Amino acid sequence: MQQFAFPFQHTTVNKLPSDVQALIVSATEATAKAYAPYSHFKVGAAVLLEDGSVLLGSNHENAAYPAGVCAERAALSVLDMNDKTHRVKAIAVTYLGGDEHGKPISPCGICRQTILEVQQWQDHPIAVYMCNPDGEVIMIEDAGYLLPFSFGSEFLSTPAPQSGDL
């Protein structure tokens, strides 16, 4: 039986480079804009583009839970709407609510698929910083590690979009 393993770094915010610290602060600020009246679990995401600009997103719940939008997908939607010329370097995800002294938050499966899709069309890895409110961080250098055996365009008869196609 084969085992699957991938590299990651378990650290704290203050040990990361200043641009990543700023990205995590931005994600934390985005949690304040979350709309979570049902779960009271607020999530913020910040996407760092190669030109240094940052796009923010927060979760928005709906009484029909599946109709809600996750923070990561909200931030990446801003990318889709406004700036397809700069590649995504990293995404940071933070939260408030629930067990705020718990482990760093990880993107859900749909968000993992969405991040991976962006990584595939830009043909460049996206680093993912998963954080908790206490400053604990798990970092992976390639979003593909979050979704091993992923479903992608290679399963479809339509070719994958390229960065200029979106």
From start to end of the chain, where are the E strands?
9-12, 42-49, 54-58, 88-96, 127-131, 136-140
In this structure, how many other beta carbons lie within 10 angstroms of the beta carbon of residue 37? 9
Nearest CA to 75 among 23, 140, 122, 36?
23
Strand 88-96 to 42-49 pairing? antiparallel
- Residue 93 CB contacts under 8 Å (≥ 6 apart), including other chains: 27, 43, 44, 45, 71, 72, 105, 106, 107, 128, 129, 130, 131
Reported pTM: 0.90
Position 91, amino acid: I
**Which domains are seen in the chain, by residue range?**
9-145 (3.40.140.10)
Which one from 50, 61, 72, 136 is the annotated catalytic residue?
Answer: 72
Active site annotation includes 72: yes
Q: For the chain, first and last CA: distance in Å?
A: 40
pLDDT at 164: 56
pLDDT at 157: 75
Segments in the chain forming alpha helices (H): 18-31, 71-82, 109-122
Mean pLDDT of each 10-residue bin along the chain, 166 residues long: 89 97 98 96 97 96 92 90 81 90 93 94 95 97 93 76 57
pLDDT at 130: 99
State the angle between helix axes of 18-31 and 71-82 in degrees (0 to 180), rounded to the nearest 10. 110
pLDDT at 162: 62
pLDDT at 19: 96
